[in-house]
């Protein structure tokens, strides 16, 4: 029977301390629901009384299926009784089954920051926890600055823990508040604490200031801790908190622990991670451990041919265990094996010893040396491959285009700018000329192309451009630089594809990427060439 | 006397394996220069013979002041002599003082991936390293899959290391190729290796698949390893490599090791980190350990008042040691103090209670909400402030411009594109119209402006644009999106300044950034307004 590790999520409290994080009440409710569904043991919802958002959350706190909701706060103020402390009243007023109180365990902090005596601080800890327990709540004690405090004065730091333990705290959590501790220190200090308080249930709360919050948390588990406090994607003040998304798979798949998350639920960990990014309007980190889009991506040709033999060659776990998938990339480093693999995924039939594959590999390498990047533009790669293999339909030919940008400064110093584009295309036997305006030369070109093509290909009404990226490849040449444009397009179902263009002329590069975007879509509709 | 740790950077080789990373030759040369200036011991430039970019880099490899440049590659193929192996010939042909050869140390890999006998693999390792050493190069041996191999068959894994050691390798690097090892395993296995090969100089090469590459590298150092292989910002395949930017300050400031980086150079670590982001056109991670903009940011009111008492309360190191600064996130007041601070730094005299400061703070906030980013364009900020304070000289007024891009597809399917711009300016009492061509609309505009202005301001001959960056701020609107252009300019001494423009129209945004670039330079020459 595997030992159980308890997961305590502080995304909604400590996570929301980070710069740029502003959860609405709706965000908090949605995140709490997702954490509960995933199998998190404790959800710290906020600090009752600290701000209107947290109060509104606790007023509407959802019925959880599995998790216990926890309210965070401080031990009572100096010189007051716990039952008469307004802060504790707010915390208890939230009515949560669990409560987490933070208190000081570093004597220097007690004296300089709190400005109370070390003995009064111990009473503040025990009084506050006893009061919470008497109200029927499960009490957690966050020992703030515990590791720094222990290094400075181990006796006092342990006295603070004992005060909480003797008051009946269910969990005593050792906090590396400043995030500066090393895993070997954490292991040694937790082991010391375990020998002094062998029956206390210990937790760990780490910050990522040396990029070791995950390792510090796991070192604490190896030393006997059984609760981990962390946040989804490691969000949190400064460099963030311990990242539960990286911790949970390692605990379950590598260290053999049981958590509240089942093997089935573990497959949803990527969705949980992306939910937080969605709520924060952030682009997910494609390199995130376990859940990143690139976490199981293979680029080097050497790796890919070995992968084809056995996936253990370059994968530390089976990506399916965490609901992720393997990704084979085409690029500069591509060998034949990558390219063949990609063609197969695209449904392009070609024999493995076809001479034209070598030619394709060479073109990809040469173009990537110029600045093309096919790994981020697989639709353009597919068109290149089909072109070479004689399988590329032509829906239109560009004969010429003109893009004009005209700006006039008005007497009040504002600018009046007009962008206009003209295109001349041959579509089958027909020659078509159209003109359109836009709010920049590329937008005008896009409009003019659609105006010319939509009467022949009404399906184009169901696609649109959803992203447009420009990268200067030779920045030392400044405005004369080689430019790469990547366009993301989507169909009416939200399915996306990516195309690129590279040229010294930004408009030419954009035009090439537009051509590929339109052609790939029409090809996928199964439409005949013009 | 502190012990010395050697830093081996693989940003340009293993780092460039990551999805979305496509360094140009110019990028690689600039990064190598920066690594050398920072005090990195070894710079792995790439894999000679693997792709055109790496070949072009080695053909133009810079003279380093401090670092040794290293070329990466594989041990010889099976059934060939080392001196007759085309791969090794390419590697040696690069002419670098150091060479790093990767070879297999996991018997299962030797048999399934390489498909050679385990004894032939040992000969491949020793022959290849002997050959490299006989050519006068410093030889590093990367033992691929070492930790997985050691767990499966420790005897064979150690035989692979011994083969390299006995051949005379200067360094033997233990690679956690799949990134799945835990710090405690790494510590235990490195300790075993040390007891078996006590005189070998050992290195460590980790990947971040469990978010523990930094901790694994440091666990190896604690067990006796003296070389760390990693990359800047941890870029690399899948979840990335060990992040040297997080490792170096911890090694020097917390563990007491010496590296090739001096305490003065350590203050430049943030610039090195941002250089890589700039080259990749990425937004720096504000939560990065040590160098992130938020790494020493304090938001909670509780923290801020404690910080005012003693910074040790919430900071694990003094941010000045890594060239970073504390950031207090409070209110409009911090905004005012910040702005006053910046004006003082720019030598702009204004009284602290000047009403116009509030207006400036408001404009900056409004514009930053729109997408301006004055922190990366301080010349534009200075012009904005001077404009508001009535201290802005006007060297020219734009009356109108026109940028035209005309493309014709020739019978052989190549494109013939012409970009032309016309500007109409008033310079003092004069109205000037000029027209010029360029290799894109922005370049043509730059040329036309210079043609109009240089007769009046010959000093412009001594400045040039050195970088041009475009970022789409509202990507969901695609080609109709709001665009930010940042231009870097340099004078004849190489001194750089940055200006920006934001508009839905890319050409308008570029024109605004050009206006600021020219105006700021002329102002700094002390020239009178027209």
One-character DSSP codes across B215-230: HHHHHHHHTT--EEEE
Which domain CATH number covers B495?
3.30.160.340
Domain endpoint, select from A365, A388, A411: A388
- Please tell me whether residues B404 and B495 are part of one structural domain: no
Pairing verdict, β B68-74 and B42-46? parallel
Say if residue B404 is in the same domain as residue B259.
no
Check: CB of residue A269 under 8 Å from CB of residue A245: yes
Q: Is B472 helix (H, G, I), strand (E, B) or coil?
A: strand
As a whole number of angstroms, the distance between CA A212 and CA A220 comes to 12
Exposed (0-12), middle (13-18) or buried (19+): which is B166, by Cβ within 10 Å?
middle
What CATH number did the domain enclosing B418 receive? 3.30.160
CB contact under 8 A, A406 and B401: yes
Asked if B409 is an interface residue toward chain A (Cβ–Cβ < 8 A), one would say yes
pLDDT at A31 over 70: yes
Angle at A438 between CA A433 and CA A440, to 5 degrees: 115
Interface check for B321 against chain A (CB to CB < 8 A): the answer is no
Residue B484 has pLDDT above 50, yes or no: yes
Between A149 and B528, whose confidence is greater? A149
Q: Is A329 on the interface with B (CB under 8 A)?
A: yes
Q: Is residue A529 part of a domain?
A: no
**Which strand (E) or helix (H) includes residue B197?**
none
- Note the pLDDT tens digit of each residue in A186-243: 999 999 999 999 999 999 999 999 999 999 999 999 999 999 999 999 999 899 999 9
Select from B456, B486, B507 the last residue of a domain.
B456
CB-closest option in B182, B417, B419 to A254 = B182
Asked if the structure places residue A266 within a domain, the reply is no
User: Are residue A379 and residue A457 in the same domain, yes or no?
Assistant: no
* B457: alpha, beta or left? (left if phi > 0; alpha if psi -120 to 50): beta
pLDDT of residue B291 exceeding 80, the answer is: yes
For chain A, say whether B289 makes contact (Cβ under 8 Å).
yes
Interface test with A, best of B148, B316, B418, B441 (most A CBs within 10 A): B316
State the complex-level ipTM.
Answer: 0.73
C-alpha–C-alpha distance, residues B203 and B186, integer Å: 12
Domain's final residue, options B251, B279, B307: B279
- By the CB < 8 Å criterion, does B24 face chain A? yes
d(CA A274, CA A469): 22
Strands A297-298, A227-230: pairing is unpaired
What pLDDT is attached to residue A490? 86
Please tell me whether residues B211 and B345 are part of one structural domain: no
pLDDT at A72: 97
Nearest residue to A243 via CA among B287, B19, B72: B287
Q: Is B348 in the same domain as B442?
A: no
User: Are A321 and A420 found together in one domain?
Assistant: no
For residue B25, count other CB atoms closer than 10 A to its CB.
19
Portion 133-152 of B in contact with A at CB < 8 A: 145
Q: How far is CA A89 from the centre of its chain?
A: 36
**Which among A395, A441, A399 is positioned nearest to A418, based on CA atoms?**
A441
pLDDT in tens, B397-444: 999 999 999 999 988 888 899 999 999 999 999 999 999 999 889 889
For the whole model, what pTM was predicted? 0.74
CB contact under 8 A, B313 and A466: no
HEC assignment per residue over B261-289: CCHHHHCCHHHHHHHHHHHCCCCCCCCCC
- Residue A118 to residue A104: CA distance in whole angstroms: 9
Q: Answer for the pair B467, A475: CB distance below 8 angstroms, yes or no.
A: yes
Is the Cβ–Cβ distance between A101 and A128 less than 8 Å? yes
State the Cα–Cα distance between residues B295 and B318, nearest whole angstrom: 11
In angstroms, the CA B74 to CA B103 distance is 6
Give the gap in angstroms from C-alpha B135 to the nearest C-alpha of chain A. Answer: 26
Distance (Å, whole) CA A397 – CA A487: 20
* A335 falls within a domain: yes
| Cα separation, B224 vs B35, whole angstroms | 25
A254: left (phi over 0), alpha (psi -120 to 50) or beta: alpha
Residue positions counted in chain A: 530
A410 phi, psi to nearest 5 deg: -80, 165
Q: Which of A178, A212, A22 is nearest to B307 (CA)?
A: A178
Asked whether B489 and B465 are in contact (CB, 8 A), the reply is: yes
Q: Per residue in A3-19, pLDDT tens? A: 999 999 999 999 987 76
Would B467 be classed as within a structural domain? Answer: yes
Answer positive or negative: Cα dihedral of A257, A259, A262, A263.
negative
CATH of the domain at A511: 3.30.160.270
Q: Return residues 100-129 of B near A (CB < 8 Å).
A: 109, 112-113
Q: How many CB atoms lie within 10 A of CB A365?
A: 20
Among candidates B509, B504, B511, B469, which has minimal Cα distance to B486? B469
Interface contact A342, partner B, CB < 8 A: no
Among candidate residues A103, A104, A100, A128, the one with its CA nearest the CA of residue A44: A100
Please indicate whether, in this complex, the C-beta atoms of A397 and B409 are within 8 angstroms of each other: yes
First-to-last C-alpha distance (Å) of chain B? 63
Same-domain check for residues B43 and B164: yes
Looking at the domain assignment, is residue B306 inside a domain?
no
Closest alpha carbon to B238 in A307, A273, A287: A287
- B39: region left, alpha or beta (phi > 0 left; psi from -120 to 50 alpha): left
Domain-located, residue A280: no
3-state secondary structure of A419: strand
Contact assessment for residue A468 and residue A439, using Cβ atoms and an 8 Å cutoff: no
- The H-or-E segment that residue A388 falls in is helix A378-388
Question: B22 vs A487: CB contact, 8 Å cut-off?
Answer: no
**Chain A residues touching residue B183 (CB < 8 angstroms):** 183, 215, 218-219
DSSP code for B2: P
A240 and A327 inside one domain: no
**CA angle (B14, B15, B21) in 5-degree steps:** 130
Same domain for B370 and B250: no
Any domain includes B176: yes
Region B469-491 average pLDDT: 74
Q: How far is CA B198 from CA B201, B258, B432, in A?
A: 8, 21, 78
Task: Count CB-CB contacts under 10 A for residue B362.
Answer: 12
Domain total of chain B = 3
Q: Is A233 on the interface with B (CB under 8 A)?
A: no
For the ranges A455-459, B113-117, B303-307, the maximum mean pLDDT occurs at A455-459
pLDDT at B57: 95
**Partners of A332 in beta bridges:** none
**Inter-chain CB proximity A250 and B210 less than 8 Å:** yes
A42 and A175 together in one domain: yes
B488: closest chain A residue by CA: A478
- Return the pLDDT at A302: 58
Strand-pair partners of A471: A484
Looking at residue B475, what is its pLDDT?
Answer: 52
What is the predicted pLDDT for the residue at B330? 42
Chain B: give the shortest CA distance to residue A303, in Å: 10
Backbone angles phi, psi at A6, to 5 degrees: -95, 135
Task: Locate the chain A residue with the closest alpha carbon to B223.
Answer: A184
A440 → closest Cβ in B255, B303, B479:
B479
Same domain, B32 and B174: yes
Average pLDDT score over chain B: 90
Q: Do A323 and A420 lie in a common domain?
A: no
pLDDT tens digits, A107-133: 999 998 889 999 999 999 999 999 999
Do residues A126 and A133 make contact, with C-beta atoms less than 8 angstroms apart? no
**Residue A269 included in any domain:** no
- State phi, psi for A460 to the nearest 5 degrees: -60, -20
* Closest chain B residue by Cα to residue A374: B20
- A501 to chain B, minimum CA–CA distance in Å? 13
In this predicted structure, the answer to whether residue A311 has a pLDDT above a threshold of 70 is yes
**Residue range of the domain that includes A370:** 297-388
Query: Given this model, what pLDDT does residue A52 score?
Result: 80
A277 touching B (Cβ < 8 Å): no
- Could you tell me the CATH number of the domain that includes residue B273? 3.20.20.70
In chain A the first and final C-alpha atoms are separated, in Å, by 67
CB contact at 8 A, A399 and A517: no
How far is A320 from B72, CA to CA, in rounded Å? 33
CB contact under 8 A, A505 and B419: yes
């Amino acid at each position: 029977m595997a030992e159980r590790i308890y997961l305590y999520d502080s995304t909604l409290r400590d996570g929301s301390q980070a710069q740029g994080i502003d959860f609405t009440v709706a965000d908090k409710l949605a995140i709490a629901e997702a954490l509960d569904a995933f199998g998190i043991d404790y959800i710290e919802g906020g600090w009752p009384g600290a701000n209107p958002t947290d109060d509104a959350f606790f007023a509407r706190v959802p019925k959880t299926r599995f998790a216990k909701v926890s309210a965070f706060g401080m031990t009572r103020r100096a010189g007051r009784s716990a039952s008469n402390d307004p802060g504790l009243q707010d915390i208890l007023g939230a009515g949560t089954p669990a409560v987490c109180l933070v208190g000081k365990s570093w004597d220097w902090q007690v004296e300089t920051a709190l400005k109370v005596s070390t003995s009064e601080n111990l009473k503040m800890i025990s009084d506050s926890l006893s009061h919470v327990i008497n109200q029927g709540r499960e009490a957690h004690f966050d020992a703030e600055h515990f590791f720094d405090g222990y290094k400075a004065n181990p006796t006092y730091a342990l006295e603070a823990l004992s005060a909480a333990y003797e008051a009946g705290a269910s969990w005593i959590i050792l906090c590396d508040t400043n995030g500066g501790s090393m895993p070997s220190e954490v292991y040694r200090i937790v082991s010391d604490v375990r020998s002094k308080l062998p029956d206390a249930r210990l937790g760990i709360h780490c910050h990522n200031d040396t990029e070791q919050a995950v390792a510090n948390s796991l070192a604490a588990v190896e030393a006997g801790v059984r609760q981990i406090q962390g946040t989804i994607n490691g969000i949190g003040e400064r460099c963030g908190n311990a990242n539960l998304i990286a911790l949970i798979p390692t605990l379950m798949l590598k260290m053999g622990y049981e958590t509240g998350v089942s093997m089935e639920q573990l497959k949803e960990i990527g969705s949980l991670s992306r939910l937080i990014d969605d709520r924060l309007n952030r682009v997910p980190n494609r390199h995130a451990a376990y859940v990143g889009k690139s976490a199981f991506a293979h680029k080097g040709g050497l790796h890919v041919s070995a992968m084809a033999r056995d996936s253990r060659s370059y994968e530390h776990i089976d990506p399916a265990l965490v609901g992720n998938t393997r990704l084979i990339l085409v690029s500069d480093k591509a060998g034949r094996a990558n390219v063949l693999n990609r063609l197969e995924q695209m449904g392009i039939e070609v024999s493995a010893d076809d001479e034209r594959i070598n030619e394709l590999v060479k073109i990809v390498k040469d173009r990537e040396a110029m600045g093309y990047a096919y790994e981020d533009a697989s639709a353009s790669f597919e068109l290149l491959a089909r072109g070479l293999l004689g399988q590329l339909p032509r829906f239109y030919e560009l004969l010429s285009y003109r893009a004009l940008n005209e700006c006039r400064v008005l007497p009040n110093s504002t600018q009046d700018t007009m962008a206009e584009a003209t295109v001349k295309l041959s579509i089958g036997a027909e020659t078509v000329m159209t003109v359109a305006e836009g709010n920049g030369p590329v937008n005008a070109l896009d409009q003019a192309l659609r105006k010319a093509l939509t009467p022949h290909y009404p399906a184009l009404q169901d696609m649109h451009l959803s992203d447009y990226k420009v990268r200067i490849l030779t920045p030392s040449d400044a405005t004369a630089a080689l430019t790469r444009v990547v366009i993301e397009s989507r169909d009416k179902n939200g399915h996306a594809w990516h195309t690129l263009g590279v040229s010294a002329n930004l408009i030419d590069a954009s035009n090439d990427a537009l051509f590929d975007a339109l052609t790939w879509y029409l090809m996928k509709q199964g439409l005949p060439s013009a």
